Structure 1
């Protein structure tokens, strides 16, 4: 969904929770999570529960119903060409992500990037590299199409363009 699809009072599903839109901006939506039994918690503004801001990237994962979410997931998995993540890969990524708990910019790990050769880089954790003066952050990466592990300095990773569905499809087509 896009911010223009929302209006105050609209209920939607994002992640595992139901939300109610409380405000709409140009690029964001503010909402309250609907997880209380008593509706008195949802009177406002001001609200007695936290309002959360969703940006346009997060809103791409918002749906009006569970059925819409399931259908979109099925369509995406069929059309994207992304090979997915095997169980043992997910286990390793989760373990190493726990070890990078002190990293201050965790949002960086939410966005895949594309290398100059078209390879998709999935960031899943970071580590400190103390070999330089002070230290630098090293981003740990999984390359889903080649089933390889890699690392890249945070500054180099940030220079790469964000991955898009077109980039993933292009990479999948090269695999054939």
Structure 2
């Protein structure tokens, strides 16, 4: 079943990787079992750029997840993950050094997008969530559309926020 879920995300990856903006901005996609192959609970989709500290899959990335439990697939999500730790890798700087300027710049626009809900602790590791129904026959296309929108809008803003602390 893990492979079937991976195939769904791989279809999204294939379509996105053909797009000009994807190639131009050197986006990277990772589709992998979570938490690992041996003890998989589901499959995770990450899209990110090389300088977003995501080599270990715990950095900055746009993420979706499909649970192995079919009942839980009814309400899957799309979010941006702003590090799994409180400190920026290789520094003594706190995550908020880039998350606050990033969130402050995107907040009004993203809040206007249908289904995007910010958390009370919006400067934390997952500032907002958009829920998707993975049982919908258009799930892959819907995910592709939302990921493209997030990458095109948030990618440059995040690059700027990261650069400002370098």
What's the TM-score bracket when you normalise by the shorter of the two chains? under 0.3
Could you state the TM-score of these two structures normalised by the residue count of structure 1? 0.24
Point out which structure has higher relative CO (alpha carbons under 8 A, 6+ apart). Answer: 2
Return the structure number with greater strand share. Answer: 1
